[in-house]
Amino acid sequence: MKQPVIVTVIAILSCCACAEGQDEQDVERIRAARADYNVAIADHDVERILDFLDEDYQITASLGQMSSGRGNEAEIWRELFASRRDVVYVRSPENIRVSDRYPLASESGNWEGRWITENGAVQTGGSYSAMWRKVDGKWKVRSELFVALYCEGVDCP
């Protein structure tokens, strides 16, 4: 009778190892998606930015402005890129956790933005968190919260 118990324990441990391996693959997929998202921002490619966003995307921007929907987000990026031709934002993840129960993940880290105005360079940044949702096997950003913690330059708000 001891043998079935051992087999059951081995089967459970094997499943846990598979889930853990899957989590690591998903963490790496999210990390890679974030890196590609950063490149899309640097390239000022609004259509590519939208590829990373869930249909019902929501954002609270660095100074508290809220927006929802991919259409609104597209317009915000287009206006930003038109007014700040050299703007770059980089999000650097420090922690990514994948749910073992839901098709969801959380990401947190630091963000930085840089651009030049007629009065000089501006550099701003802070912390962020993001909720990712797996849609048809692909990770999409469902919501993001950015908190501005510093700004350097003459034209800081």
pLDDT tens-digit series, residues 67-98: 999 999 999 999 999 999 999 999 999 999 99
Residue 93, pLDDT score: 98
Q: Compute the average pLDDT of residues 26-36.
A: 98
Rounded to whole angstroms, the Cα distance separating 30 from 131 reads 11
What are the residue boundaries of the structural domains of the chain, listed by start?
2-152
Q: What is the pLDDT of residue 29?
A: 98
> pLDDT tens for residues 104-141?
999 999 999 999 999 999 999 999 999 999 999 999 99
Q: What is the 3-state secondary structure (H, E, C) of the chain?
A: CHHHHHHHHHHHHHHHHHHHHHHHHHHHHHHHHHHHHHHHHHCCCHHHHHHCEEEEEEEECCCCCEEECHHHHHHHHHHHHHHCCCCEEEEEEEEEEECCCCCEEEEEEEEEEEEEECCEEEEEEEEEEEEEEEECCEEEEEEEEEEEEEEECCCCC
- Predicted local confidence at residue 124, as pLDDT: 98
Q: What is the pLDDT of residue 17?
A: 38
Q: Label residue 157 by pLDDT band (50, 70, 90).
A: confident
Confidence of residue 22 (pLDDT cuts 50, 70, 90): low
pLDDT at 37 over 90: yes
pLDDT value of residue 58: 98
Residue 21 has pLDDT above 60, yes or no: no
Correct CATH for 2-152 of 3.10.450.50, 3.40.50.150, 3.30.390.10, 3.40.50.1000 = 3.10.450.50
Judged against a pLDDT cut of 60, whether residue 3 lies above it is answered with no
The predicted structure's pLDDT at residue 65: 94
